Amino acid sequence: MKYINTAKQIIAILLVCLVVGVVIISEHSWPEGARDYLFAHAFEDTGATNTVSAIYLGYRAMDTLGETLVLLVAITGTMAILVNLGKDTIEEEAVHFCLPPEKRAKNALRTHLLEVVSSKLGPIVLLFGFYVMLYGHISPGGGFQGGVIVASSIVFLALGTETKSKLTNTVVLSRIEAIAFLALVLASISGVFFETGFFGNPIKPETDLSANFIILLNIIIGLKVGTSIATMCIAMMGGRHDL
Amino acid sequence: MNILILSLILALGIYALLCKDLLHSIIALSALSMLSALLFTMLRAPDVAITEAAVGAGVTTIIFVWAIRHTQRREEDS
Amino acid sequence: MIFERILIFALFIAGFAAIVGIKNIIKKVFGLNLINAATVLLFILEGSRIGDQAPILADSVESMVDPVPQALMLTAIVIGVCVTALSLALAVRLYKATGSLDIEVITKRLQGEH
Amino acid sequence: MSIDTLFLTPVYLPLFCAAFLMAAKVFFPERTMLFFQGVAGVVGLLLPLAALFLLNPFVMSQQNMETVIGAWETSIGIHYHFDGLSYLLIALHLAVSIPIYLYRKKGQRHSDTFAIVFFIQCSSVAATSLTADLFNLFVCLEVMGITSYVLIASSDKEQSILASYNYLMFSATAMVFFLIGVFGLYRITGSLSYEAIASVKNSLVGSELLVAQFSLVLIVISTLLRSAIVPLSGWLVGAHSTAPHPVSALLSGVLIKVPLFALVRLLLLVVGSYRIGSVLAFAGGLSAIVGILFALRENHAKRLLAYSSVSQIGYVVTAYALAVKEGIGTERGALLLSLALLYAFCHAVAKALLFLTVGTATDALNTKDLALARGANQALKAQGEKIPLTCISFFIAFLSLAALPPTIGYFGKSALLSVTKGHIANQMLTITSVLTVVAYLKLCAIFFPSKEKIKTVAQEKSIGFSLRCAFYIFDFLLIAGFFFYKHLQNWVIQILSPLGSSQIQVSLFAPYSDFTKSLVTIIIAIVVYRLYHTALAHKLLSFVPNKGRTFSDLFFGYGLAIAIMAFQLIR
């Protein structure tokens, strides 16, 4: 019985990799039509110098909306599965990262280094995250990358127990996430009322303000990604399971 | 130069799959993400490099380590 | 040129063989991560053949790289991470339910009692 | 509100409701959530329905609308294509999901997460049926997929977690192959919208054509995986049988049909797609037979329904594949496609009703094993159900799927069988329709009166009002479909018929001559059902393997499907 199974697996791998191999290995020149058009028109269409964010927040903004939905559903699903994961065992509970020093078990291997570094490093990484988010349309970066860096800074703050800031409170985080998602949907619908259709840029392309729509989208997506990943990481690190 | 980094990535990938201790595999995977982020910067794709480094290496490693903490670290040699 | 694609194809085969072959459910998620990384590498490697400057519209840029695959791969990486997060949450839940990480042991224990 | 903003309402209105519910969940206390879910239901589901009524004249005159999202320049932006097909797909989705939303609203444990994910799924289904861009199709299928994994895993049974894990790994891998297909096509054609790809692809020759054909194979098989045609149907039984009742109703009703019909726009434009049609027609017939044989073998109520979903989708795929073979542009192709869609509608409504009624009944009886489950009526009556509504709706759904007169299924199935006359798959389908009746007779056993006293299950929520009107809506759809079938069929054929030939002669089958045929099928079915309990039948059925599909079987089917399709395209 065992051989039939491995034989099946080998046949499956061979068949699929035959077809995929032909598509990957075959030699073909890369089309330059899209690149030339963007090189000429990207700036005055969307006002963004970084053509990649011009595409994924301007021309193909629908993909970014789909991507944010995938992130939202994945994190909601993970949280739903995490919540009824059941309580950890007692000694696991004691070693949790987020417990203040006096409540934690003595044998938890937590050097002082982590506390000093994390509470000092947190604000700097937060600042860098917002920089990457806000300058998305000029220098490389943008909504998602900025959001993840903001999320890692929030995790730093949650690790360090000296700074008890509201930022690491999961209720506040999920509120910001809900507002950001609502703002994203409203921003995408706003194009409809300015007759440029769904996900259109409500600001007229000619004016030099048209980059603001991309900045707005970057901020909203950055906040949403940052808060949702931070919420998940804090819940994973044994923070409050009260979601 | 690309070929060197790509073969290193392939080696890390195969090591990650064959290694018995899952924690070593996770470290190999995050090294793989970091190397591909380096390759993207060399291929003039800075946006994708930041995403791969921050999202690929950062968040994936946190999730994998959390999953390992809740299950078992050594793979059963059945 | 073609050798780079052969290396990426080898990474792809390794990932797919892991998903089909290896029994440990967390190693299967590793395999999924690998084929996702291989696809992103393929898109960006091929996309950067036609130019040698980053797609930022500074004034000194003449031959820039094709930004379209880069924009697509931003989406693909994030979707890959989300699918990995969800599959690992399911894998942990399966481990809590059946106490094992081996897909066949899990199916036997769960399919035993309907 | 010009046309192009109107047809996008089914995409962004449910999204707005999901965002609204998320905000409400965080800001407002728990007890007001039910009210907000009601408001969200009205805005997210009923308003798009109203938008569809407004769009009806536009679609009846066979116009179609090609827009770029966000009014950008055409070569880079995402193309959206609104025509009769996407109109009917959205109508089918709304017709099935509104009653299911009503059924679900009676306060489950995860009710607010369920509602948010449900609305996101609605918007992704609408976007999938509208999109005319390859990478956007990838993103929409991914959103649809991830919402169904989360919905399946939301039931607290352990098997559902395993089923969700299998489905996730299988279709996530397939989606990476989809990306490789997009890579192949973009590299050759330089664009991502269907028209541009088709125009370049038709003029390809030599090795480029080979690569383009292989990329197309990867894309087609990865999309068809979600419609669970035989080699690819390993994941469906686990997922649909362990998911909560409204989720499995929604999955069987809508989620396995939308990728199939969303693919037609890509196949329509690509030369050589008639070869894909002939392979698919055979696969459809095969999945009908294999599905129903497994269903006969099954003793677990919801697994039997899941297997019968696999076999019923075989009917839809056969008609769809013959339509693709004929070419949608031709008269006969459009006719075949409209009948495939009509049968998909009959099956969606009837199967959703079956899942809900059998689910409620087996919950009341607290056992899903068909051998033991008897006397569901007494148990339901004990739960405070005055008139035996569940039993009546079950019986109507049974009549519809067994193709008996007072329901829409009677006309739908006979129309489909008469149109797909010439093909070998037709014989398979007729055999399957007999066996389907036998399988469902097995299912009726639940409602037979049982001897011993039913101990009432401590069910705190009695049969809620919203659950009852879900059943009423479904029953109405099935019965009204029977009486107005002629108009319904003309309406669908007119919408889907190619330009300029809107008066196809529709008297394609005399409704009453088929009555004798369906009577004969019933008699044979009852005889076979009697035979079913004999030793001979058990020995015969023991050949059908009953072991669950292991993980690697899924990929073996996937490899097989890719190999067959690639061989077919190169030949």
Q: Is the pLDDT of residue D450 over 80?
A: no
- d(Cα D316, Cα D416) in Å, to the nearest integer? 9
Q: Do C12 and A144 touch (CB under 8 A)?
A: no
| Residue ranges per structural domain of chain B | 2-70
User: Pick from D253, D267, D248: which is nearest to D320 by CA?
Assistant: D267
Q: Is the pLDDT of residue B9 over 90?
A: yes
Q: Where are the alpha helices (DSSP H) in D190-272?
A: 194-202, 207-224, 234-242, 245-250, 258-262, 264-269
A82 touches chain D (CB under 8 A): no
Inter-chain touch C32–D172, beta carbons under 8 Å: yes
- Cβ within 8 Å of A, C 74-113: 74-75, 78-79, 82-83, 85-86, 89-90, 92-93, 96
For residues C70 and B48, the answer to whether their CB atoms sit within 8 Å is: yes
Q: Where are the domains of chain A?
A: 2-236
Residues 532-551 of D with CB under 8 A from A: 550
The average pLDDT across A150-159 equals: 85
Evaluate the CA torsion angle B27, B30, B36, B42 in order and state its sign. negative
- The pLDDT value given to residue B76: 61
Nearest beta carbon to residue A144 from set B46, B55, B63: B55
Asked if D touches B (at least 3 Cβ pairs < 8 angstroms), the answer reads no
> pLDDT band for position D507 (50/70/90)?
very low
Classify residue A207 as exposed, middle or buried by CB count within 10 Å of its CB (0-12, 13-18, 19+): exposed
Q: How many domains does chain C have?
A: 1
Whether residue D462 is predicted with pLDDT greater than 70 in this model: the reply is no
pLDDT, tens digit (0-9, with 9 covering 90-100), for C57-75 = 877 777 888 888 999 999 9
pLDDT in tens, B36-59: 999 999 998 888 999 999 888 888
pLDDT band at D108 (very low <50, low <70, confident <90, very high): low
Search chain C and give the residue with CA nearest D547.
Answer: C111
Q: C18, A9 in Cβ contact below 8 A?
A: no
What integer pLDDT is reported at residue A156 of this predicted model?
83
Average pLDDT of chain D? 81
Using DSSP, how many helices (H) and how many strands (E) does chain A show? 9, 0
Q: How far is CA D71 from the centre of its chain?
A: 33
C55 CB neighbour count, 10 Å cutoff = 31
Mean pLDDT, residues D404-414 taken together: 80
pLDDT band at D458 (very low <50, low <70, confident <90, very high): very low
Chain C hits for A74, CB-CB cut-off 8 Å, are: 82-83, 85-86
Any chain C CB within 8 A of the CB of D173? Answer: yes
* Domain housing C42: 2-112
Residue with tokens 């559903």: A73
C-alpha–C-alpha distance, residues B54 and B58, integer Å:
5
Q: What is the pLDDT of residues A78-104, one digit of tens each?
A: 888 877 665 555 445 544 555 555 555
Q: What is the ipTM of this complex?
A: 0.92
Which residue of chain A is at minimal alpha-carbon distance from D18?
A: A182
Give CA angle at D24 (D22, D29), nearest 5°.
130
Which tokens belong to D37? 């879910």
Closest CB to D4 among A23, A24, A197 = A197
Residue A207 reports pLDDT greater than 70? no
CA D165 vs CA C85, D152, D310, D418: distances in Å: 12, 10, 20, 40
Contacts 24+ apart (CB under 8 A), D29-35: D33/D111, D33/D112, D34/D105, D34/D107
C35, C60, C78: best to mutate for the A interface, most A CBs within 10 A: C78
Separation of alpha carbons D60 and D45, rounded Å: 22
Provide the chain C residues 10-39 that lie in CB contact (below 8 A) with chain B: 10-11, 14-15, 18, 22-24, 26-27, 30-31, 33-34, 37
The confidence score (pLDDT) of residue A94 equals: 46
Question: Counting Cβ atoms within 10 Å, is residue A11 exposed (0-12), middle (13-18) or buried (19+)?
Answer: middle
Residue partners of A59: CB distance under 8 A and separation at least 6: A45, A46, D70, D72, D73, D76, D77, D78
Instruction: Pick the closest to residue D262 from D58, D82, D452 (CA basis).
Output: D82
Q: Taking residues D410-431, what's their average pLDDT?
A: 80
**How many other C-beta atoms can be found within 10 angstroms of the C-beta atom of residue A38?**
26
The pTM is what?
0.92
Lowest mean pLDDT among C85-99, D80-94, D258-272, D544-558: D544-558
d(CA B58, CA A230): 12
Q: Give the separation between CA C96 and CA A135, rounded to whole angstroms.
A: 44
For chain A, say whether B55 makes contact (Cβ under 8 Å).
yes
Given an 8 Å threshold on Cβ–Cβ distance, is D16 in contact with A189?
Answer: yes
Collapse the DSSP code of D79 into the 3-class scheme (helix H, G, I; strand E, B; otherwise coil) and give the result: strand
Q: Which band of pLDDT confidence, cut at 50, 70 and 90, is reported for residue B73?
A: confident
